[in-house]
């Protein structure tokens, strides 16, 4: 499948878990390079190839296509142990990775003390975020605090040891303040992580330069976002967000290319909404419906196994995602999960506590927890869609639902996913 631009960004329009991995996997067929630009092992992209299921946390989902080059940009926080665990597992399953994976010399290393601190902070917090416990917040804090350790530092042992020692001591002091004892396990994990340094250095490259020269040579590139718009550090439901910019503009800074190189931005949105972790979720279902859709959609976190909260499609959020990301198109996923519903609801606005109705996504997260969505009801299609491969073959009510999503979100629907398999996709001409 190749209907996309020369440099395409794939972003999540909701709170992550929109099925970006599946869309990236499908679109990779038509590109030469796939690169991640932010986040770390907090992401969990589940991809089905034939009967096989792959869950990828660090390596771009494009890796499952023979011969494609997969890069991790400077905006990523790279968990060196997790990265090689995944790398080796792919090789063990017969995927040829030789010459196919590159990591930015400028990417930040996520080290074992970041994971430890993430868990300790979360366990002792009064206001929990519900993080994935993968060390993401502390690693980005170190980056912004200019204490981080980057891939390129692995080549300078003296500098590396100094920087790691200072950063680790600081973390240990914070852990002590939180009443958490550091154990020998941390030293073992650190030795293990840094022991992989030379192996990682062998994959280090200048990602921005790679992508720019590939584009100049007429090649096609896909930039793969992790998490979603509502988890963006600036634009999401702060503070219940991740610690990176998940939105499309970050694809340029997170890989080292100029924004004018990007010509297409595809937003991935589930046909309903889910959220994992803490924070407001205006269109949440009632408990019975929540359970029903969670079971039908298999809505459990790919990274943590946590049950995801489920709700109706929120077009206020989708419209906001179209604006923040400059979407040129939408990929709507998991439409088939709604096949058995008699009726569906779409949120078109939010009623504020004072009775006014707004159609923009509010900056004030606390008021978002008190809004009541304004719903529009649409008839269900009550027919299976998993085998449909053409838009015209979808039931009329399913098409009407997609049309309404496109209208409310202000972006055309370009792809519809109707199941987890690679083949279960409809390309809208």
Catalytic entry in 32, 45, 114, 235: 45
Q: In the stretch 273-292, what mask flags binding to ligand IMP with x, by CB under 6 A?
A: ---xx---------------
Say whether 45 is catalytic: yes
Q: Are 46 and 303 in contact (CB under 8 A)?
A: no
Task: Say how far apart CA 148 and CA 144 lie, in whole Å.
Answer: 8
Q: Does residue number 23 form part of the binding site for ligand IMP (CB under 6 A)?
A: no
Q: Does residue number 237 form part of the binding site for ligand IMP (CB under 6 A)?
A: no
If the CB atoms of residues 307 and 362 are measured against ligand IMP, the closer one turns out to be: 307
Judge if the upstream peptide bond of residue 224 is cis by omega within 30 degrees of 0: no
| 204 bridge partner residues | 103
Q: Does residue number 74 form part of the binding site for ligand IMP (CB under 6 A)?
A: no
What minimum distance in Å lies between the beta carbon of 131 and ligand IMP? 4
Q: Could you give the angle at the alpha carbon of 291 between the alpha carbons of 55 and 344, nearest 5°? A: 100
If the CB atoms of residues 69 and 115 are measured against ligand IMP, the closer one turns out to be: 115
Cα 24 to Cα 115, 303, 353, 360, distances in angstroms: 28, 18, 40, 29
Residues 6+ apart with CB under 8 A from 366: none
What minimum distance in Å lies between the beta carbon of 136 and ligand IMP? 4
Q: Are 264 and 223 in contact (CB under 8 A)?
A: no
Q: Does residue number 16 form part of the binding site for ligand IMP (CB under 6 A)?
A: yes
Q: Does residue number 44 form part of the binding site for ligand IMP (CB under 6 A)?
A: yes
Residue entry with tokens 């941390």: 186
If the CB atoms of residues 182 and 304 are measured against ligand IMP, the closer one turns out to be: 304
Stretch binding ligand IMP (CB under 6 A), from 87-95, 226-234, 334-342, 346-354: 226-234
Find the helix packing angle between 184-195 and 157-177, rounded to 10°: 150
Say whether 17 is catalytic: yes
Q: Does residue number 229 form part of the binding site for ligand IMP (CB under 6 A)?
A: no
Of 92-131, binders to ligand IMP (CB under 6 A) are 129-131
Task: Say how far apart CA 214 and CA 217 lie, in whole Å.
Answer: 5
What minimum distance in Å lies between the beta carbon of 288 and ligand IMP? 24
Q: Does residue number 136 form part of the binding site for ligand IMP (CB under 6 A)?
A: yes
Q: Does residue number 307 form part of the binding site for ligand IMP (CB under 6 A)?
A: no
Whose CA is closest to 54, among 88, 86, 99?
86
Task: Say how far apart CA 383 and CA 155 lie, in whole Å.
Answer: 58
Q: Using CB under 6 A, count the residues that bind ligand IMP.
A: 21
What minimum distance in Å lies between the beta carbon of 177 and ligand IMP? 20
Q: Does residue number 243 form part of the binding site for ligand IMP (CB under 6 A)?
A: yes
How far from chain centre, in Å, is Cα 52?
21
Continuous H helices in 107-225 = 112-124, 136-144, 157-177, 184-195, 197-201, 207-216
| 78 bridge partner residues | 109
Q: Does residue number 264 form part of the binding site for ligand IMP (CB under 6 A)?
A: no
What minimum distance in Å lies between the beta carbon of 233 and ligand IMP? 10
Dihedral pair phi/psi, residue 155, rounded to 5°: -85, -5
If the CB atoms of residues 35 and 136 are measured against ligand IMP, the closer one turns out to be: 136
Task: Say how far apart CA 136 and CA 120 lie, in whole Å.
Answer: 13
What minimum distance in Å lies between the beta carbon of 243 and ligand IMP? 6
Q: Does residue number 417 form part of the binding site for ligand IMP (CB under 6 A)?
A: no
Residues involved in catalysis? 17, 45
Binding residues for ligand IMP, rule: CB under 6 A, are: 15-17, 42-44, 129-132, 134, 136-137, 226-227, 231, 240, 242-243, 276-277
């Amino acid at each position: 499948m190749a209907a996309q631009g020369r440099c395409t960004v794939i972003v999540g329009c909701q709170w992550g878990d929109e099925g970006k991995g599946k869309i990236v996997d499908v679109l990779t067929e038509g590109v030469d390079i796939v690169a991640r630009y932010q986040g770390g092992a907090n992401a969990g992209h589940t991809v089905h190839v034939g009967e096989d299921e792959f869950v990828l946390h660090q390596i771009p989902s494009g890796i499952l296509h023979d011969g494609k080059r997969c890069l991790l940009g400077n905006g990523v926080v790279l968990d060196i142990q997790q990265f090689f665990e995944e790398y080796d597992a792919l090789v063990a399953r017969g995927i040829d990775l030789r010459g196919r994976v590159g990591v930015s010399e400028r990417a930040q290393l996520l080290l074992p003390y970041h994971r430890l601190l993430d868990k300790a902070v979360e366990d002792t917090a009064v206001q929990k975020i519900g993080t994935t416990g993968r060390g993401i917040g502390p690693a980005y804090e170190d980056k912004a605090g200019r204490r981080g350790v980057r891939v390129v530092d692995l080549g300078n042992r003296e500098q590396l040891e100094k920087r790691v020692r200072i950063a680790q001591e600081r973390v240990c002091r914070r852990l002590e303040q939180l009443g958490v004892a550091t154990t020998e396990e941390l030293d073992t994990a650190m030795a293990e992580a840094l022991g992989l340094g030379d192996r990682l250095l062998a994959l280090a490259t200048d990602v921005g330069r790679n992508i720019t020269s590939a584009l100049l040579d007429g090649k096609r590139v896909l930039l793969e976002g992790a998490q979603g718009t509502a988890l963006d550090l600036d634009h999401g439901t702060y503070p219940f967000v991740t610690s990176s910019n998940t939105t499309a503009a970050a694809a340029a800074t997170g890989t080292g290319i100029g924004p004018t190189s990007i010509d297409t931005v595809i937003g991935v949105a589930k046909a309903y909404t889910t959220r994992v972790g803490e924070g407001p979720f205006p269109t949440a279902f009632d408990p019975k419906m929540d359970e029903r859709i969670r079971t039908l959609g298999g809505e459990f976190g790919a990274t943590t196994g946590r049950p995801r909260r489920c709700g109706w499609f929120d077009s206020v959020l989708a419209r906001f995602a179209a604006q923040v990301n400059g979407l040129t198109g939408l990929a709507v996923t998991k439409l088939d999960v709604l096949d058995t519903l008699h009726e569906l609801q779409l949120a078109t606005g939010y009623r504020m506590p004072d009775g006014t109705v707004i159609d923009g996504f509010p900056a004030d997260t606390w008021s978002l927890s008190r809004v009541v969505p304004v719903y529009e009801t649409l008839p269900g299609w009550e027919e299976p869609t998993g085998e449909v491969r053409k838009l015209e073959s979808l039931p009329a009510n399913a098409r009407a639902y997609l049309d309404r999503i496109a209208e409310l979100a202000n972006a055309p629907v370009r792809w519809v996913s109707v199941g987890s398999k690679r083949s279960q996709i409809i390309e809208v001409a």
